Structure 1
Amino acid sequence: MATLTIAPTTLCFFSPIPNKTFEFSFPKTSLSFFKPNFLSTTTLSSSTPCLNFILFKRFSRVFCNTFSNVSTNTTHYEFYDDSSEVELRVGLGSKDIHSSKDVFVDADENSLAIRVQHRGSLKTLMENKCLYEKIKPAETIWYIDEDQLVVNLKKQDPDLKWPDIVESWESLTVGVMQLLKGTSIYLVGDSTEINQKIARELAVGLGYTPLNTKELLETCAKQTIDSWVIAEGSDTVAEAESAILESLSSHVRAVVATLGGQHGAAGRADKWRHLYAGFTVWLSPSEATDEDSAKEEARKHIQDGVQGYSNADVVVKLGGWDAAYSKTVAQASLSALKRLILSDKKLPGKKSLYIRLGCRGDWPNIKPPGWDPSTGADVSPPTL
C-alpha cells in the first residue's frame, strides 16, 4: 500500500511484495520535455514487486486501487508521440485476425486493455492500468494494419511528451531527468545504508553523480563516523556534515546520500538551510501494516514536524526493507518527484534561484535580493 501527498509534501508508503506487478495512477498535470519520438520495447513481466498508491492533496483526494499493470504475456509494441496524441502499434503475431469484430480495445483516462478473440477464447495482448499520463478515452481510435493493431490515444495535455506508453523505471528516468533541469536530489532518513543504496540507483538511472556525505566526512576526518561520535559527540559530526552540504549545494546533477541517525544534519531542523537547494526524499521505515495506518502515520509526521526530515519534499514510507528492492523504492521516489514537479512546474527554477541568492534559509518563500536572514529585513525593493 502507499500514500502520496503532493502539497505541501509528497509521501509514499512502500511494502515489498514479490511476484506481483505494479502500477501508478495520478491526476493529470502538464509539462513539456524532450524525448526521442520513436521507440520499440516490450511490456513488463509479472514478477515486479507490487506498489499500490493513494494520492491525496490538502483539500481533495484521488484514490487509486488497481492491481495489474500489464498482461502476463510478453507483448512487443512500438510507440510514437505526435504532439496531441500517441500512437501504439501492437504486433498481432501469428494470430489469424482479420476482422475488427475479433478485437476489443478498452480505455479510460489512466488505463488501456487490448484483447483479441482467437480460436474461441479471449486473449489479452496488453493490459496497462498505468498510462504515462491521462488520455481522452472517448476519442480513442484503432485499426488493423497488416499484422499490427494500431491504437491512437488522444492526450488530455497535448504539450506533455510521453517517453513511453507506461510509467516505468525507464520512462521515469527519462522524464524526471528532464523535469529536474539539473537540480540535485538529497536522500535523508535514519538509515545511512538505505540512503546510499537508493541514491546509487537514482544516480545510475538519471545519469547523475552519486555522492554520499559519510564517505566525504570519513575521508576528511581520517576516521569512521562511529569513532568520531565517540570522540567528539554527534553535534560535531552534524556541524561537519552541514558544512559538506553547504559545499554541495552549488552542485548540479548529483544524488547525495546523507548520514542517518541523530548525528546527521538532516535529522535536525536547524540544519536544512542548504538541503533546500535540491529535492529531498525522506526514506522512512514504517511499522504500518495497512493503508489507513500508513496515511495516519504520514500525517502525524508532517503535522508534528518534530524531526528535521519532515521538511523533505518527498517522504517514502518503507514497510520493511530489503536491498533487493532498491530499484523499486527508487522508482517510487521518482514517481513521487514527478508528481511533485508537475504540480508546480516552477519548482526547479525556484530551487535554482534559491541557490543563486545564497541559500539563505527562506525556502519556500524566497525573499528579494538583499534580504538579511538574521534580521528578516529587506534591504532592497521586492523584485520577485
Structure 2
Amino acid sequence: MRNLFDQSIQKQKEEHEEVEFSDGVSEVELRLFLKGNEVEDSGDVFVEADGTSLIIKLKSSGSVTTLLETNHLYDKIKPAETIWYIDEDQLVINLKKYDPELKWPDIMETWESLAVGVVPILKGSSLYIVGESTKINQKVAKELAVGLGYTPLNTSELLEAYGNQSIDSWVIAEGGDSVAEAEGAILESLSSHVRAVVATLGGQHGAASKDDKWRHLYSGFTIWLSQSDTDDEDSTKEEARMQIKDGSKAYTNADVVVKLGGWDPDLSQTVAQACLSAIKRLILSDKKLPGKKSLYIRLGCRGDWPNIKPPGWDPSSGAVPQET
C-alpha cells in the first residue's frame, strides 16, 4: 500500500528534542535549536515555503544540513509572508496561516495532529465507513474511533445480535435483501447518534451498496474505502474521479473516497490518517457542512441531502411546501 504521508519531521522530532511549535491567532511559529551550529551569515540559512511544503536547510562548516523537510504542513500558508530570524541558539520561523481561524495542533499533518484537530471541526458529527470489505471497514473504523475518542460501532455485530445468527446464515435463510433492509433499520436508529464511528457491512448484502438505503447514512460524514488495482497515485485519482462521475456504485454517494492499493491490517492507521485528512479538507472547503448535517438530522433524515427542503416537506410526494 502506498504511504501517502512524509514522516520526516515526526521522525526528527522523536530523535531530537530540537523543535518547538506554537500556534498563534494568524500564524504559527517553529523554533529549531541549532545545537552549537554557528550561523556566520544569514545566507547560510535556507528557508523554502510553498503552500503546504516547508524546507529548512543550514550551511555550516562547508556542508549543508537539512533541518526539516515536509510536503504536508497541517494546512495552507501564505508563503510570501514567511519570515525567519536567529534568536540566540534558535532559528525561528514564522508562517502566516491561510485560514487564521483554524487551530493547528502541530506543524505538519500527522495521525496525532489530525486526531486532535479534526474533532472540533466535526462538531460532533458521526463518521460512517462504507466499502466492499466488512473487515476493512471495521478495522479502520476502530482506529478512527480510538484516535478521535468517539464511540466505535459496527452494524455487523448489531445485526448478528439482533438476528441471533451470523450474517452468512442470515443471507442463506432469508436472502441478501433482508440483511440490507435490517441494516437500513439499524442505520436509522444510529442516525441521531453523535460522536460515533460506524463500520457498515461490505459487499452486495450491505445497505450502503444500494442507492435507496442511503437516507440515514447522510446524517454523518461517509468515507468510502475503495480497493483499487492501480499501482500509481495518478491512476488511482483518475479511477476515483471516473467512478464518482458515472455514479456506477452506490458508494459514490459518500462524502469522500479513500483509495486502497491493496490491504495490510498493520497499515490500518495509515488508512485512518488518510480518512481524517480527506474529511478535514472537505470541511475546511465548506465550514457549514457539520451544521448542515445537524439540520438534516433534526428535520428527520428525509433523504433530501444535500439540497435540504423546508420543514413540512413530504419525501413521498416530492412536493416543496409553499411559503405562507
TM-score class, shorter-chain normalisation, is over 0.9
2: distance between equivalents of 1:125 and 1:152?
A: 16
Structure 1 residue corresponding to 2:220, chosen from 273, 278, 281? 278
1: distance between equivalents of 2:162 and 2:125?
A: 26
Structure 2 residue corresponding to 1:346, chosen from 288, 307, 324? 288
SS of the aligned residue for 1:89 comes to strand
Give the aligned partner of residue 2 of structure 2.
Answer: 16
2: distance between equivalents of 1:190 and 1:137?
A: 41
Give the aligned partner of residue 57 of structure 1.
Answer: none
Matched AA of 1:22: F
2:276 is the alignment partner of 1:363: no
Give the aligned partner of residue 11 of structure 1.
Answer: none
Structure 1 residue corresponding to 2:56, chosen from 73, 95, 114? 114
Structure 2 residue corresponding to 1:247, chosen from 189, 213, 221? 189
8 Å Cα contact 1:372-1:378 kept in structure 2: yes
Q: What is the aligned residue count?
A: 324
Structure 1 unaligned segments of length 5 or more: list them: 1-14, 25-41, 46-69
Structure 2 residue corresponding to 1:224, chosen from 143, 148, 166? 166
Structure 1 residue corresponding to 2:10, chosen from 44, 48, 57? 44
Aligned-pair Cα RMSD in Å: 2.1
Structure 2 residue corresponding to 1:83, chosen from 25, 42, 57? 25
Matched AA of 2:154: N
TM-score (norm 1): 0.80
Higher helix share: 2
8 Å Cα contact 1:71-1:126 kept in structure 2: no
8 Å Cα contact 2:13-2:19 kept in structure 1: no
TM-score (norm 2): 0.94
SS of the aligned residue for 2:240 comes to helix
Structure 1 residue corresponding to 2:73, chosen from 104, 123, 131? 131
Residues 16 and 276 from structure 1, CA distance in 2 versus in 1: closer, same or farther, beyond 3 angstroms?
Answer: same
Q: Could you tell which deviates more after superposition, 189-198 or 91-100?
A: 91-100
Matched AA of 2:2: P
Cα displacement (A) at 1:75: 6.1
8 Å Cα contact 1:368-1:380 kept in structure 2: no
Residues 122 and 73 from structure 1, CA distance in 2 versus in 1: closer, same or farther, beyond 3 angstroms?
Answer: farther
Give the aligned partner of residue 329 of structure 1.
Answer: 271
Cα displacement (A) at 1:265: 0.5
Give the aligned partner of residue 34 of structure 1.
Answer: none
Cα displacement (A) at 1:277: 0.3
Give the aligned partner of residue 162 of structure 1.
Answer: 104
1: distance between equivalents of 2:30 and 2:84?
A: 9
8 Å Cα contact 2:29-2:94 kept in structure 1: yes
Overall identity of the aligned pairs, in %: 69
SS of the aligned residue for 2:22 comes to strand
2: distance between equivalents of 1:189 and 1:157?
A: 32
SS of the aligned residue for 1:340 comes to helix
Cα displacement (A) at 1:136: 2.4
Matched AA of 1:77: V
Matched AA of 2:163: A
Give the aligned partner of residue 258 of structure 1.
Answer: 200
Deviations 1:290-315 (A, max 9, x none): 34432332233213323211111111
Residues 191 and 356 from structure 1, CA distance in 2 versus in 1: closer, same or farther, beyond 3 angstroms?
Answer: same
**Greater RCO, 1 or 2 (C-alpha within 8 Å, sep 6+):** 1
Residues 297 and 104 from structure 1, CA distance in 2 versus in 1: closer, same or farther, beyond 3 angstroms?
Answer: closer
